[in-house]
Amino acid sequence: MEQSQQKKLISTFFSPLVRFFFHAGRYTLLLWRSVQKPEKSRPYFKQLIREIDKFGMSSILLVVVISAFMGSVITLQTAFNLTLAVMPKYVIGLGTRDSMLLEFSSTVIALILAGKVGSNIASEIGTMRITEQIDALEIMGVNSAGYLILPKLLASVFFFPLLTLMSMIVGIFGGYVTSYLIDAVTTAQYVYGLHHAFNPFFITYSLIKMVVFAIIISTVSAYEGYYVQGGAVEVGRASTKAVVYSDVLILLFNVILTKLLLE
C-alpha cells in the first residue's frame, strides 16, 4: 500500500515535468523543420504575401481603434491624477508617451494579436490537420511545417513591429486630441511633455519586444494546430490553448526582456 502511494506521488510530481520536456522538444523540432531551406522559393513568397495581408493588414483597424482610445484614456487618467498632486502639466504628455512606448504599443498589442492572429493560425492549421491536407502535402514531398509555418512566422516578424509603430503614433495623437478637448492641459504643454527627457531607445526596446512576441505568437499557435488530433472540438481547444500559452509566454518574456534591456 505504501509503495503504491509512493509511486502515485512520484507520478504526480514528475508527470507535468515530463510533459513539459516532451512538448518543449517537439516544439523545438517543429520550429527547426519550419525554418529549413524551401524546396522552391516562389510558392513560399506567394504564401508570405497572403499571410501579410491576412494577419497584418486585417489587424490595422483594430490596432488603430484600440490605440487611439487608450491614448485618450491615459491622458484623461493622468490629468485627473494631477489634480490631486502639485506637478507640472507637461507630465500628462510625458506619461502618455512613455506608457505607449514602453508597454502598451508592444505588450498589450501583442496580447490582443495573440487572441486575433494566434487563434486564427491554430484553427487554420488544425483544420488542415484533421482534414488530412497536411498529410497530402507530406505525400507530395512538401515540407509541410516549412510551407505552413515559415510564411506565418516571417509575416508576423515583419508586420507586427510596424503595427507597434502605428500604435505609438496613433496613441500619442489620441492623447493630443484629448488634451485639446479638455481644459486640464494645453496642447503646447502636452507637446512639451512629449519632447521632455525623450529616450529614443524606448522605441528600439519596444520593437525588440514585439519581434520576440511575434515569434512566440506565430510558432506556439502553429504548434498547437499542427499536432491536433480529433475533430472540430479539438481544433477549438487548440485555438484556446494557443491564445493562453502565447499570452503567458508574452508576459514572461516581457519581464525577461525588460530586465535585460532597461537595466
Q: What is the pLDDT along the chain (263 residues), one digit of tens a residue?
A: 455 655 555 555 557 777 888 888 888 998 898 888 777 788 888 888 888 888 878 889 999 999 999 999 998 888 887 765 567 888 888 889 999 999 999 999 999 999 999 999 999 999 998 988 888 888 888 888 888 899 999 999 999 999 999 999 999 999 989 888 887 778 888 889 888 888 899 999 999 999 999 999 999 999 999 999 888 888 889 999 999 999 999 999 999 999 998 87
Longest dimension (CA), the chain: 78
Radius of gyration of the chain (CA): 23
CA angle 139, 142, 145 (to 5 degrees): 110
Residue 130: Cβ-neighbour burial (10 angstroms; 0-12, 13-18, 19+): middle
Task: At 135, give phi and psi (nearest 5°).
Answer: -60, -35
**Residue 251 corresponds to which cell in the numbers above?**
508576459
Residue 198: Cβ-neighbour burial (10 angstroms; 0-12, 13-18, 19+): middle
* Rounded Cα distance, 118 and 225, in Å: 10
Instruction: Quote the DSSP letter at residue 90.
Output: T
Residues 198, 93 contacting (CB under 8 angstroms): no
Residues 167, 67 contacting (CB under 8 angstroms): yes
For position 13, what pLDDT does the model report?
55
Residues 150, 50 contacting (CB under 8 angstroms): no
**Residue 74 corresponds to which cell in the numbers above?**
491615459
Task: At 131, give phi and psi (nearest 5°).
Answer: -95, 10
Angle of helix 60-82 relative to helix 144-181, nearest 10 degrees, comes to 40
**Residue 149 corresponds to which cell in the numbers above?**
509555418
* Rounded Cα distance, 74 and 178, in Å: 10
**Residue 37 corresponds to which cell in the numbers above?**
531551406
Q: Where are the alpha helices (DSSP H) in 35-59?
A: 41-51
Give residue limits of the domains in the chain: 1-34, 37-262
Q: If DSSP codes are grouped into helix, strand and coil, which group holds residue 219? A: helix
For position 247, what pLDDT does the model report?
94
